[in-house]
Structure 1
Amino acid sequence: MIRWVWAFLDRPAARFDECVTFWSTITGTEPSARRGEDGQFLTLLPDPALFAAAGIKMQSVTGLGGVHLDFDVEDIPSAVRFALDLGAELVANHPGYAVLRSPSGQLFCFTPAGPAKSHPAPAHTAPDGTLSRLDQVCLDIGASDHSTESRFWTTLTGWDHTQGTRPEFSRLRPKEPLPVQFLLQHLGDDRPTTAHIDLASSDIEATATWHESLGATIIDRQPHWIVMNDPAAAYYCVTARDPHSATT
């Protein structure tokens, strides 16, 4: 059903230009022309020489913003009915796309599938030679909602669900190369599901230092990942996963 998936970065209007510069720099992409009634949308485009398809979009919003997901599908009404049967809530039905909310609160959209996409963009090389890649969306799920929410996303996507190396993590991997996979995180407290971005990096300390030079802030260090805030204080993680093997 799902032909392509987009990581959609929603960032506050007051910091949007700064965030576009930051995210396009760290992903090695170029912002497209803006679109939408208020010029609120854009796509981060890979280098044309890579012959790779884009997988990241951005939206200027009121409020704090966050991360949502867009799924390209062949038949939006059928996809909506399927999601509703699984427990999703329809938020808005716009001409050409639908906005929904997962059972415990994560926003996502069904959007029309266009021509077949090529492969996702490869890892980007930082000025010091470090490789990194935006390849994963982490769904942060409250304790009491974890079973329901995990079942929802597994059934909705039809992807392979496997246990992670730590008990609080499991993964949803697409059966064919797509721009992002999902990490499902079992939180210790109860709250609505939200999402954040994970980047795979060949050297998390070097990547974090580079991001700091571009306006990011380090929030926490763990042995295998570093938690950071982007210029709009939206948190994301730099992880020690192999950027070459992402989304395969």
Structure 2
Amino acid sequence: MIDIRWVWTFLDTPAPDGDRSWDFWAEVTRSHLTPPRGERGEFSTLLPEQGDAWVKLQEVVEGGGVHVDLDVDVPLREAAEEAARLGASEVAAHEGFVVMRSPGGFTFCLTSWSNAGSATTQVREGEPDLLDQVCLDIPADGYSREVDFWETLTGWPKRPGSLPEFVSLTRPDGIPVRFLLQRLDEPTGTARGHVDFACHDREASREAHLTAGATVVSEHEFWTVMRDPVGRLYCLTHRRP
């Protein structure tokens, strides 16, 4: 277990689609984009009207998807060694962060906590919906190992989801992002992720997202699968923000 003090959700988008993606996510989260930063202006943060930010945007050369940064209150080398002991692999070490992959292949970063967020300034009340969850989509053959890895790494107890193919981790007070782990029907492959919104009124949120440029992929009892203007899948879920 490592001491996780904050979680950042990253939406990674190929550079040609960056502007459209950033504008869409700023609109549907009712946030402001920070000025671009980084060597290529590849990073921005979504700033909510109140409270601390927990979603960042990144333009990437290839690929795209979702990853998380785990802010830890221990030396990064110590955290990376613990993650590796539990089954992760180290991809690259940089000043201020270490890129890792989980046993199933999901990319995450270990980053140094700098008191960037806290429970006392995190505002959730009064929002119609909230991007508050990362769902790891895991092929069946690696599901049990992936669940064990994330439960042990975070120290957050697992609990059954609403359906047999889901397990969630019990998020501590003050952490802005929930983790849900989904067992896919596909037998093998690499774990990946998508983000979920908690919605007071899922139909109203769906209409707002359609107006912003998203499309509906499929409807289910507890969630709606959406596609953003550049092809990223995400879900609107029937949960209280």
> Normalising by the residue count of structure 2, what TM-score does the alignment of the two structures yield?
0.94
In the alignment, which residue of structure 1 is the partner of 2:140? 143
| Unpaired segments ≥5 residues, structure 2 | none
Task: Compute the displacement of 1:12 (Å).
Answer: 1.6
Q: Do the aligned partners of 1:121 and 1:179 also contact (CA within 8 Å) in 2?
A: no
**Residue 83 of structure 1 aligns with which residue?**
83
Mapped partners of 2:25, 2:220: distance in 1: 23
Is the 1:28–1:124 contact (alpha carbons within 8 Å) kept by the matching residues of 2? no
1:98 is matched by which residue type in structure 2? Answer: V
Q: Percent identity?
A: 44
Write out aligned runs for 1:99-178 (5 A). 99-115=99-115, 117-119=117-119, 120-122=122-124, 125=127, 131-178=128-175
Q: Distance in 2 between matches of 1:132 and 1:124?
A: 9
Q: How far did 1:8 drift? A: 0.5
Q: For 1:45, which of 44, 47, 62 is the aligned residue?
A: 47
Once the two structures are superposed, the pairs formed by residues 165-244 of structure 1 within 5 Å of their partners are 165-189=162-186, 190-243=188-241
Query: What's 1:6 paired with?
Result: 8
Do the aligned residues in 2 keep the contact of 1:9 with 1:66 (CA within 8 Å)? yes
Residues 23-78 of structure 1, C-alpha deviations (whole Å, 9 max, x = no match): 1111121111211111101111122xx2x111000100123410000001122111
d(CA) in 1 for partners of 2:240, 2:47? 22
Distance change in 2, residues 1:208/1:195 (3 Å): same
RMSD: 1.3
The residue type paired with residue 224 of structure 2 is I
1:17-96 paired onto structure 2 within 5 Å: 17-47=19-49, 50=50, 52-74=51-73, 75-96=75-96
Give the CA deviation at 1:123. Answer: 5.4
Q: Which one-letter code corresponds to 2:146 in the other structure?
A: E
Give the SS at the match of 1:152.
helix
User: Matched residue of 1:206: which SS?
Assistant: helix
Q: State the one-letter code of the partner of 1:97.
A: F
Q: 1:121 to 1:4 in 2, by over 3 A?
A: same
Aligned to 1:246: none
Give the whole-Å Cα distance in 1 for the aligned partners of 2:171 and 2:220.
27
CA contact (8 A) 2:118 2:174 kept: no
Secondary structure at 2:98's aligned position in 1? Answer: strand
| 1:2-38 Cα shifts (integer Å, max 9, x gaps) | 1100111001211111111111111121111211111
**Is the contact between residue 27 and residue 124 of structure 1 (CA under 8 Å) also seen in structure 2?**
no
Q: State how far apart, in whole Å, the 1-side matches of 2:98 and 2:126 are.
A: 32
Please tell me the residue identity of whatever aligns with 2:233. Y
Separation (CA, whole Å) in 1 of partners of 2:22 and 2:164: 35
SS at match of 1:7: strand
Which runs of at least 4 in structure 1 moved beyond 3 Å after TM superposition?
Answer: none
| SS of corresponding position for 2:27 | helix
Change (3 A) 1:102 1:124: farther
Structure-2 separation of matches of 1:35 and 1:152: 33
Q: Do the aligned partners of 2:52 and 2:116 also contact (CA within 8 Å) in 1?
A: no
Change (3 A) 1:121 1:15: farther
Question: What amino acid is aligned across from residue 218 of structure 2 in structure 1?
Answer: D
Q: TM-score, normalization: structure 1?
A: 0.91
Do the aligned partners of 1:160 and 1:175 also contact (CA within 8 Å) in 2? no
Unaligned runs of 5+ in 1: 126-130, 244-248
